[in-house]
Structure 1
Amino acid sequence: MQPQKTDLARTALQAHRAPLDMRQRRLLILCDGQRDLVQLGQLVGPETPAMVIQLIQTGYLVSSAAAEVTVAAPAAPAPSVMPTAALAPVTERRRSLVAARIYLLDILELQRHPQAAALFHTLQQARSDDAVMAALHAALEALPGLTSTGYAGRVRQRLLEVLPTAHAERFQIAAV
């Protein structure tokens, strides 16, 4: 089976407003009709078949081999109506401060502003967990002034998805 994106998926990837987590977005990007389920599994991880089934059921992917999806379905956990709800344990397992740091470093690197460069340098040089958290917080506070408010909000949401639960809770308390 070689899943392909639908028009809904292309729109969701361009708009950044779909209810997809980072792993689902990554899978959608990789589903180009050229890669089969085994190749996608090597790139994304062992939960790929379940994610493909969820994305097919929600209309983001189509497959020319629908019979293979039916065969793969019993081995995968039962999909839910909300694609992100069934992936909560997987997302929890993938949370790390290093991933959050790398994500925000990449976002700051995309900004063409001297303040973003300074924040990038500060985050890059942070060594302790507290210093990294302070740098992440400072960068998120400054991001709405460097980009649109909506974009900054999406970055904040994605960052909270990647941060370990304890750090995310501290981060949200500090934001209040």
Structure 2
Amino acid sequence: MQPRKTDLARTALQAHRAPLDMRQRRLLILCDGQRDLAQLTSLVGAEASAMVIQLIQAGYLVSTPAAAAPAAPPRTDPAPVPVPPATMAAPVTERRRSLVAARIYLLGILELQRHPHAAGLLHALQQARSDEAVIAGLHTALDALPALTSPGYAERVRQRLLEALPKECMDGFQQVLA
């Protein structure tokens, strides 16, 4: 099976308003009708097949049958491929979560804002050195973001930031939110 995007998926990727998380967006971008499920699994991880099914059911993807000649070799390769990603899926997910990644993500969002207050928040977050100062800077920027952008966009940024924050920092971040 070689999944490819529907018009709904193209619209969702362009508008940034679809209820998709970062991994689903990444998978949608990779589904060009040229890559089969085994290739997508090697690029995205063991959860690729489940996400493809979800995206097909949601109408973002359609499945096209793979050509007969290329389909035979991948069927022999996928047996070993899913085993290593399945055993490494948890560490890869954990590596994606880091305070540095969350900070870089929010710095990028602040750079996109054309507002003097956003520039001040960006500078303050860049200057934060301790974990507590970074968490406080992230919180301050998230509080200010709805005034700089639309509330929907600010909420999506907050959700993405929570996906990037490590679990051990979530308590500190939620304490600052309270």
Q: TM-score, normalised by structure 2?
A: 0.73
Equivalent residue, structure 1, for 2:125: 123
Assess if the C-alpha contact under 8 Å between 2:33 and 2:64 holds in 1: no
Within the candidate set 148, 151, 156, 1:149 is matched to: 151
Residues in 1 aligned to 2:146 and 2:7: alpha-carbon distance in whole angstroms: 30
Equivalent residue, structure 1, for 2:142: 140
Shift of 1:52: 2.3
Evaluate the alpha carbon distance shift between residue 18 and residue 90 of structure 1 in structure 2; reply closer, same or farther with a 3 A threshold.
farther
Equivalent residue, structure 2, for 1:109: 111
Q: Which amino acid aligns with 2:24?
A: Q
Identical pairs, percent: 75
Higher mean C-alpha deviation, range 108-117 or range 41-50 = 41-50
Equivalent residue, structure 1, for 2:85: none
Shift of 1:173: 3.4
Shift of 1:29: 1.8
Q: How big is the alpha-carbon RMSD for the aligned residues of Structure 1 and Structure 2?
A: 3.3
Q: Which amino acid aligns with 1:116?
A: A
Residues in 1 aligned to 2:66 and 2:60: alpha-carbon distance in whole angstroms: 14
SS in 2 for 1:20: coil
Shift of 1:144: 1.2
1:35-63 residue CA offsets vs partner (Å, 9 max, x unmatched): 44455345433433333233223332112
Evaluate the alpha carbon distance shift between residue 3 and residue 140 of structure 1 in structure 2; reply closer, same or farther with a 3 A threshold.
same
Assess if the C-alpha contact under 8 Å between 1:91 and 1:161 holds in 2: no
Equivalent residue, structure 2, for 1:169: 171
Evaluate the alpha carbon distance shift between residue 42 and residue 6 of structure 1 in structure 2; reply closer, same or farther with a 3 A threshold.
same
Higher Cα radius of gyration = 2
Evaluate the alpha carbon distance shift between residue 38 and residue 19 of structure 1 in structure 2; reply closer, same or farther with a 3 A threshold.
same
Shift of 1:89: 9.3
Query: Gaps spanning 5+ residues in structure 1: where?
Result: 77-86
Evaluate the alpha carbon distance shift between residue 6 and residue 89 of structure 1 in structure 2; reply closer, same or farther with a 3 A threshold.
farther
Evaluate the alpha carbon distance shift between residue 43 and residue 4 of structure 1 in structure 2; reply closer, same or farther with a 3 A threshold.
same
Evaluate the alpha carbon distance shift between residue 43 and residue 117 of structure 1 in structure 2; reply closer, same or farther with a 3 A threshold.
farther
Residues in 2 aligned to 1:64 and 1:175: alpha-carbon distance in whole angstroms: 46
Equivalent residue, structure 2, for 1:95: 97
SS in 2 for 1:157: helix
Q: TM-score, normalised by structure 1?
A: 0.74
Evaluate the alpha carbon distance shift between residue 24 and residue 88 of structure 1 in structure 2; reply closer, same or farther with a 3 A threshold.
farther
SS in 2 for 1:135: helix
How many residues align? The count is: 164
Shift of 1:140: 0.8
